[in-house]
Structure 1
């Protein structure tokens, strides 16, 4: 079968690889749609921190935002999984440690991350072997495009829940990339007055978009930093209302600085979000009910061969304005 492989920094190719077999506790999924995100780009360029800490290495098979249909089940897996449309958790814990047993498998020290850390080949391929315990069923109302947006949606939903800006309160989201725009959708769905801070106008934003120069002095009841700029974490603490919450889901390429005196004197709660695990079910439900529809965020759906050019910065002809690209491995 075909699979996308990163062979070195800045080098990617579609290779013929061995067909996966469903081992004990695993299924085989016919992959229908895969999203490509900033983490995949960093793995491609070599900037991703895992490549420098030894958690990941080349050759690497990426892809962790996916949807497909189960076509085979291994030993110990209920045959009822076969034929189901599914997506899955990126974070695969060891299952035995205290963190896993207390529901924190996403921070398990021995975890695998699908397509990101060594151990589990990613979903940018025709068929994927995946542990059944980490599957999530997709209802008929969630198509393949939405299914491949569940993982980023779960991240964004966790951030919005943590920000705790309720109906009628103001939620400020720093950044207008995929996560920022998804957070805006979920924020509106829970009744918050959503504002975004970006570099320019964003036609797909569901909320008022400001620049740093035009941002009004308002009371921000919750702030989510979904950027990769080192100055934004400190700005988030500066902007949030005293006694409220700042959520960090973006990662800057350089260390950021937060003055903890500001955190203390404002009695601010700061929350870090790693992974979508606890938000996956909620994202599926929200998409299924039509509370959020992020499909316009997908600029184009391309083949495995075409995504190599996208990773290198080439935007396909006819692509829409959205920040997200999807791959259909069947093309």
Structure 2
């Protein structure tokens, strides 16, 4: 089968590789859509921290946001899974440590992360092997594009849940990228008053075009009481700003990651009695996200700027954008497709 392989910083190619086999407890999925995110860009550039800690190494096959159809099952898996449309969790715990047995498999010290950690091949390929326990069934109303947005949506849903907004509360989201926009959409669907903070330019213009009327820069941000602040940015400065802006006795949620340390003064938390929550992964957020997408309560399709083939992924990771593409932050890949598609 064809698969996208990063061979070193700034180097990648599409290779013919052996197709995966469904080992006991696993299925093989025909991948229909896969998303490309900032983590993938960091792997391509060589900046991703896992490359420097030994948790990832080249050559590697990326892709952890995906949807597809089960094509084969391994021993111990019911044959009824064949033909089901699915997506799945990225985080694969060992299953027997204390963290895994207490519902925290996504922070298992020995976990694999599909397309990210410890050599587990990712979804930028025609097929993907996945443990059946990681699968989430997709209803007919969630098409392949929506299915590949469930994983980032799960991150956003967990962030909104962690914000613990009061009814009708006011939320400030820092960073109008994919996760930030999804968090804003999910919070708005729950009745929150949502504000976005960005650097201006195309990103905020796009946010306004999909219904975010309250999109600000640092210079225009109004002085309002923020019932929660979600930092979905990659800025090292914004985590501290989140703690500064949030109302006393409320919550800040950190779901974005900077490439360098992003210090927060604990006095800003303690003296305001603020709760700070970190969110790693969509684990625990898949079912809820599928429900929101299936019901039409949240429609993230406008976030997809384009869908491309495997041969175009290296250019995407290098930051190239075709003039015909939309302004959304997300690029999807059709592993069985050829060439650029709008």
Instruction: Classify the TM-score, shorter chain.
Output: over 0.9
Two-structure CA RMSD over aligned residues (Å): 0.8
- Give the counterpart of 1:288 among 276, 291, 294: 294
Partner of 2:41: 41
Determine the structure 1 residue equivalent to 2:153: 153
Please give the TM-score of this superposition, normalised by the length of structure 1: 0.99
Partner secondary structure for residue 277 of structure 1: coil
Tell me what 2:256 maps to.
Answer: 250
Residues 221, 240 of structure 1: 8 Å contact kept: yes
Q: Are the counterparts in 2 of residues 166 and 191 from structure 1 also a CA contact under 8 Å?
A: no
What is aligned with 1:138? 138
- How far, CA to CA, are the matches of 2:181 and 2:216 in structure 1? 13
Describe how 1:11-160 pairs up with structure 2 within 5 A: 11-160=11-160
Which runs of structure 1 show a deviation greater than 4 angstroms over 4 or more consecutive aligned residues? Answer: none
Provide the residue aligned with 1:321 in structure 2: 327
- Per-residue CA distance 1:247-304 (angstroms, 9 max, x = gap): 0011111111211111101000000000101111111110000010001000000000
- Corresponding residue SS for 2:129: strand
Deviations 1:205-246 (A, max 9, x none): 543101000111100000000111111011001100000000
**Contact 2:57–2:119 under 8 Å retained in 1:** no
Is the Cα contact below 8 Å between 1:4 and 1:15 reproduced in 2? yes
**Structure 2-normalised TM-score?**
0.96
The aligned length equals 331
Query: Aligned to 2:207, which of 199, 204, 226?
Result: 204
The equivalent residue for 2:317 is 311
Gaps of 5+ in 1: none
Mark the runs of 5 or more structure 2 residues left unpaired by the alignment.
338-342
How many Å separate the matches in 2 of 1:198 and 1:276?
23
Give the conservation status (yes or no) of the 8 Å contact 1:171–1:222: yes
Q: Distance in 2 between matches of 1:58 and 1:42?
A: 13
Q: Distance in 1 between matches of 2:240 and 2:68?
A: 40
State which of 243, 265, 273 in structure 2 corresponds to 1:267: 273
Q: Is the 8 A contact 1:204 1:296 kept in 2?
A: no
- How far does residue 167 in structure 1 lie from its aligned partner after superposition? 2.8
